[in-house]
């Protein structure tokens, strides 16, 4: 039996997954900052860790998947002020939209979804511990900062040297800091901003302290597996380590896992660059039945540590490939579904690929081979295996006929037009039959003539 190995960002090598408690797996993923709709690049991260949580469960682990929601942040406050609404109203609206978008991608809800505003007391407790250990100080402006140079080993995750470091994203250079690299643990209240009472005065938490406090409160430490996008390595995850391990939670995380960027024209897709599509916009342009799973297929068929490029052509290609799988399952109805026989050659190869740092390109290649064998042999048993293996990571579970026909028919009664075409062919009115086929093709409907005079159809 193969053993799951994961590339650990901290050690830069693949390592066996060994959770703190045998048989249990704690997974923490940095979730959205809910000031706007997520973009398709964000969706790649969340789809990756949905796949990871599913595979951990398939591997027999009792999984606690935690994906937090940052519902207090500078961006939320600024956007709410622009709209003239309370920050909590904006955060709630965007959190709800995030859940709706995730459902369209077939993402399973996390087991726990802590919100930062519910854990302020835990954050203040952590800050107090850091202060006692000489790692936090209150500045003249009443902000509380983490003293980076007082923690030995800072920079071990991102492999950065303190003398070469410059303040990164979300690390403001303030005159009140002792060092430009120090980062805010607590921000003093400003007029018109939300705040909470504390021993340091009214204020609100910094960004980094949120995840340290929530991960420890919900999962305990060490966290078995902590994930996020690669751009969170520094400063966010580096600062999480500093806070948690500085407070005595050593190690904070056993295995760090980071997903690569999704690019737009070979450039990182981001809201700051303005070169992004929201996931909601992308899904809105696709068939409501097929689009979510097709987008999921596109996001997962590249290895999570490899950059992929978004274009409408690559998304269409993924949809075409996915429809090929569903076509095979429509043509060969899967037999009774029991437990997966991992001794089967296809199942064994699939599991070996997934256990090799979630190597989805190789796993998908196995599914392609299996689909070919289903088409060749017409075996219901192999069709059932194809559906079951795809199901382990969230694919092929819809009714094939309904999936292939999709939701959009342009107002046409497709079956009525097919019946008219069949009648025209019987009457040898081939011109009419051909015109009906062309009419349906122009509406995105593909006809497939079968033996015995039957005709099936699907969306392009």
Give me the long-range contacts of 274-278 (CB less than 8 A, separation at least 24): 276/39, 276/40, 276/41, 277/39, 277/40, 277/310, 278/36, 278/37, 278/38, 278/39, 278/40
The DSSP call for residue 407 is S
Judge contact between 70 and 117, C-beta under 8 A. no
Judge contact between 246 and 126, C-beta under 8 A. no
237 labeled part of a ligand binding site? no
450 labeled part of a ligand binding site? no
φ/ψ region of 458 (left if φ > 0, alpha if ψ in -120 to 50, else beta) reads beta
Distance CA 56, CA 60 (A): 7
Distance CA 451, CA 341 (A): 34
Distance CA 336, CA 385 (A): 10
- Show the tokens assigned to 326: 């569903």
DSSP-derived secondary structure for 238-283: HHHHHHHHHTT-SSSEEEEEEEPPEEETTEE--TTTT---BHHHHH
Q: For residue 22, with 0-12 CB atoms within 10 Å meaning exposed, 13-18 middle and 19 or more buried, which class applies?
A: exposed
Give me the long-range contacts of 311-316 (CB less than 8 A, separation at least 24): 311/265, 315/282, 315/286
Q: Round to the nearest angstrom and report the end-to-end CA distance of the chain.
A: 41
285 labeled part of a ligand binding site? no
Judge contact between 273 and 316, C-beta under 8 A. no
Query: Which residues, in sequence order, are CB contacts of 272 under 8 Å at separation 6+?
Result: none
Q: How far is CA 342 from the centre of its chain?
A: 27
Distance set, CA 61 to CA 22, 58, 68, 344, 392 (Å): 8, 7, 21, 22, 14
240 labeled part of a ligand binding site? yes
255 labeled part of a ligand binding site? no
List, as residue ranges, the binding site for ATP.
271
List, as residue ranges, the binding site.
30, 211, 236, 240, 271
List, as residue ranges, the binding site for Zn(2+).
30, 211, 236, 240
């Amino acid at each position: 039996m193969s053993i799951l190995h994961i590339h650990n960002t901290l050690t830069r090598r693949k390592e066996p997954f060994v959770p703190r408690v045998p048989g249990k797996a704690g997974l923490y993923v940095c979730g959205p900052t809910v000031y706007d709709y997520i973009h398709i690049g964000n969706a790649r991260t969340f789809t990756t860790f949905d796949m990871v949580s599913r595979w951990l469960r398939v591997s027999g682990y009792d999984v606690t998947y935690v994906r937090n929601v940052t519902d207090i942040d500078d961006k939320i406050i600024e956007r709410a002020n622009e709209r003239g609404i309370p920050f909590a109203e904006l955060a709630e609206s965007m959190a709800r939209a995030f859940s709706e978008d995730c459902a369209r991608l077939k993402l399973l809800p996390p087991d726990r979804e802590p919100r930062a505003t519910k854990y302020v007391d835990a954050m203040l407790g952590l800050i107090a511990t850091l202060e006692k250990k000489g790692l936090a100080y209150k500045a003249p402006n009443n902000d509380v900062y983490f003293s980076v140079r007082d923690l030995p080993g800072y920079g071990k995750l991102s492999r950065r040297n303190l003398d070469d470091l410059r303040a990164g994203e979300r690390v403001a250079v303030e005159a009140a800091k002792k060092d430009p690299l120090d980062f805010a643990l607590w921000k003093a209240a400003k007029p018109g901003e939300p705040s909470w009472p504390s021993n340091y005065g009214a204020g609100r938490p910094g960004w980094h302290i949120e995840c340290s406090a929530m991960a420890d409160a919900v999962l305990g430490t060490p966290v078995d597996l902590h994930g996020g996008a690669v751009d969170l390595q520094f400063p966010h995850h580096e600062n999480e380590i500093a806070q948690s391990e500085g407070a005595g939670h050593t190690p904070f995380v056993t295995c760090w896992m980071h997903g690569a960027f999704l690019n737009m024209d070979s450039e990182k897709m981001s809201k700051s660059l303005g070169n992004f599509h929201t996931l909601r916009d992308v899904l809105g342009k696709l068939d409501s039945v097929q689009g979510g799973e097709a987008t999921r297929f596109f996001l997962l068929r590249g290895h999570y540590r490899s950059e992929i490029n978004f274009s409408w052509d690559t998304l269409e290609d993924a949809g075409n490939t996915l429809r090929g799988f569903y076509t095979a399952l429509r043509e060969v109805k899967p037999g009774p579904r029991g437990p997966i026989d991992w001794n089967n050659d296809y199942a064994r190869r699939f599991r070996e690929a997934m256990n090799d740092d979630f190597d989805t390109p190789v796993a998908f290649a196995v599914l392609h081979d299996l689909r070919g064998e289903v088409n060749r042999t017409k075996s219901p048993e192999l069709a059932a295996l194809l559906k079951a293996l795809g199901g382990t990571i969230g694919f092929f579970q819809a009714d094939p006929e309904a999936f292939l026909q999709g939701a959009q028919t342009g107002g046409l009664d497709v079956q009525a037009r097919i019946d008219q075409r069949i009648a025209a062919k019987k009457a040898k009115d081939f011109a009419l039959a051909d015109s009906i086929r062309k009419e349906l093709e122009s509406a995105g409907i593909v006809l497939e003539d079968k033996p015995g005079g039957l005709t099936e159809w699907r969306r392009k």
